[in-house]
Structure formats: C-alpha cells, structure tokens
Amino acid sequence: MVTVVHQTTGGSDGRPDWLTQDLNQGRVDLYYLLVAAMAAVNLVYFVVCARWYRFKKSDAAVTVVELEEKDGGSLKAATAGVAAPPV
C-alpha cells in the first residue's frame, strides 16, 4: 500500500508525495485518511456479509439448558431429558 501511495501521489512537477522523509512537506494526514476510509469500507462489507449469512439447520435435537440456583447461591445446570454433567 505504501508503494502504491508513493507512485500515485508523487507529482511530476516536483511536488513531494504523501509519505516523504520530511514530514513537513509530506501529507501523512491524507495517508491516514485513506487508511481510515479503507477500514470503513471493510466494516460496511463485514456488516453486509454478517447480515446475509444464515446458519445451517442442525439435524440433532436442541437441548435446552436452564440454570437453577442451589441453596448455597451457586448455579447448577438442569437439562430436559439429559443428565447434567458433574460440576
């Protein structure tokens, strides 16, 4: 990405590119703006893909696990039709 920025932003009229050695002449702010814009586009793409994604339906029966409070204040798992594992 740095190489592309060097090649595209350097002016043929002697204007320095965005990432020069001298920070006073360069435009590092525009480089970070480009990086932030790319991150924003990536976030939008991720959200679109996450909304579009659907889980596969499972053939196995779904086991419901409910937590019950014991006398000492701790919780234990109780499942319908399946023995609870030792805690």
What's residue 8's pLDDT?
A: 84
Q: Where are the domains of the chain?
A: 1-87
pTM over 0.85: no
41-70 pLDDT, tens digit each: 999 999 999 999 888 777 666 666 777 776
Helix 28-52 to helix 2-9 angle, to the nearest 10 degrees? Answer: 130
- Per the CB < 8 A criterion, the answer to whether 31 and 18 are in contact is yes
Q: How many residues comprise the chain?
A: 87
* Rounded CA separation 32/11 (Å): 19
Is the pLDDT reported for residue 83 higher than 60?
Answer: no
Residue 73: which pLDDT band, with cuts at 50, 70 and 90? low
Share of the chain above pLDDT 70, in %: 70
